[in-house]
Structure 1
Amino acid sequence: MIIKMKEQATKKEYEKIVAYLESRHFEIKDVSSEHIMVFGVIGDTSSIDPHDLYAFQGVGEITRVSTPFKKASRSFKRGDTIINLGKGVQIGGDQFIVMAGPCSVESEKQLMKIAENVKKAGAHILRGGAYKPRTSPYSFQGLEEEGLKLMRKVGDQTGLFVISEIPSADLLPLFETYVDIIQVGTRNMQNFHLLKALGKAKKPVMLKRGMSATIEEWLMSAEYIMAGGNEQVILCERGIRTYERYTRNTLDISAVLAVKELSHLPIIIDPSHAAGRWNMVEKLSLASLAVGAHGLMVEVHHDPEHALSDGAQSLKINKFKTMMTEIDKISQVLGKRHL
């Protein structure tokens, strides 16, 4: 529910109705501007009769929000959420951010070589898996804590921010120590215990779309994190499972437009997992920029033929550099800032 006060309403009138709603255990989300007082009422508002609220002086307009997600809804926040990482890097707004790196952290030497090259090419954030939730229990599972330490070390030495995927809530203290952005993978999109824990985290969270999730289900998962108090949420479209077998997944590029209509949260695209084929990554990346995504997450490896995971979808360093050159050209045409 959204309540808009009359233009001539006083602060005392605003505080009176807010106090009443808080006494009924509703959460208040203030979205006032310089000229008008507006706030959202979060909770089970079906118990509220809007006509009763008009009894409060200064109330101008009451609107019920039909979507099940509230804090993630554009109805509650008209302006886009922009997440500031520091050093001029923002996710959201008019910047186009690129996260790049190996699927898995394999060694310090491997990670440093890739990080130095993606940094030179224009990437802003180093991606890399330390804990690897894999379909097969016999596949490489990652270097775990040692991998996180290497990510932090290499990130600091190259000046890149760091993102890595968290598999379970008990590892949150480690991730808050070593990474700048905590990633929730597709298999954990509806791990509600983990999402609740991330609601208490101090770091931004990138939430990948579940491989069979609807957009509403995806945004409801974001709502879990935001309801816990952490509103620094980034959405990542990484392809959904369809009947098509030629590609690893099917990239739902229309999800960018849908999310931007429904939500204020920034959204990026992972073309590597969407296609599963390195030769498709560049074109899908350019399409992501053109459709209005706020950034990319791309897998890059200096020797993909011998990568311990996802070599088939990883760009070689020279291919990544070529792609970044094309991104720069299109960014200028579209008026996007690519640092």
Structure 2
Amino acid sequence: MKEPAFVLEGKPVHVVQTADALQAAAAHLGQQPELALDLEFDQHHYTYGFTLCLIQISDGKTTFLIDPFPLEDLQPLWNVLENPAITKIFHHANNDLMLLSMLGCQVRNLVDTAVAAKILNYSKAALGTLLEEELGLKLDKSQQMSNWNQRPLSRKQLEYAALDVLYLHELKTAMVGKIKELDRMAWLEEEDKLLESIIYTEQEDPHLKIKFPQRLTLFQQFILKPIYAFRDEVAQKWNLPAGQVINTNALLQLLNNPEQSINEWLYHTKGVHGRLQQDRYEGPLQRIVNGAVQEANKRKIPHRLPPNPFPPRLKTPETEARKELLCTVQKTLIERYGAYATPMLLDQSTITQYSQTGELVMHKKYAREIVLATAREMKINL
């Protein structure tokens, strides 16, 4: 293995930017029993889409910072992460696992220290907070919101990235020890197994996921779809977040008055990128909007709001009685396990569903067993 790029806290840090270096790193990492892992990514902040910018991985002694930009094939690393014989330690794994899944990697055998913090009833689960409380370490988080797309990355960014995994082994050992003392390993094992099932899927009707300050009519939703596709295509071409091409408020102004002149809208609306004020964009957008309005009228799409996806909840003596029963159980759980751990066992959505339907839907085995056992102790029949 080549000389490290730098040494941090007495431990070597390698920056991997070639296929040969990646093969060597993967060969080394594949022999380790346990690895700490973190990703730096950009999600519609500086550039278009969900972009992997850096992979930090450590065996506890040696850290590798893997730059995906010059690497065509990350499969050697994916093979390591998918190996169930190697434990992978994450902190707040959800987004990292979603991105890895999108890139074709399904991580197996992981431990999430943020989940461990909830199980231990910690009020705060930020990595910096846990390292300070558990290990007495204080991290500099000044690079947290920096631009990880830029190249070259600064020395401060590289050090920040390495520190995010350098102490995860120690943190995991300390927290798992406490969880074992509390006899809650079944919680951690089932929660971490659920994280393995995170799979990236393309959103259905992504244009309807935009959060507008007002609900859209069925007519507005119909004409939004091709406008959204136009914005997305331009954003991808320019490698910019879609919201920087046309922001939400500008979209809403267009949807509220789709028959206005696109030229007028482009030049007199805040939140529209100046580069759209060109014939190559203005003409196609005008045709898209006109075509969508004509098609909506042809199909007689109504100018009314769609049905509320969240109908009002029933409030009857029966629903209130069921709610009271489960809230009584919840109160006892809080007394036993703490206010921050209890939502892992019994959250508000479960209580609401039970009150409305009378059916206790709980998919986590450990949580169901604890809730039902607690209810039986309290002579409550669920």
TM-score range, shorter chain: under 0.3
Name which one, 1 or 2, has greater alpha-carbon Rg. 2
The one of the two structures with greater contact order (alpha-carbon pairs below 8 A, sep at least 6) is 1
Structure number having the greater strand percentage? 1
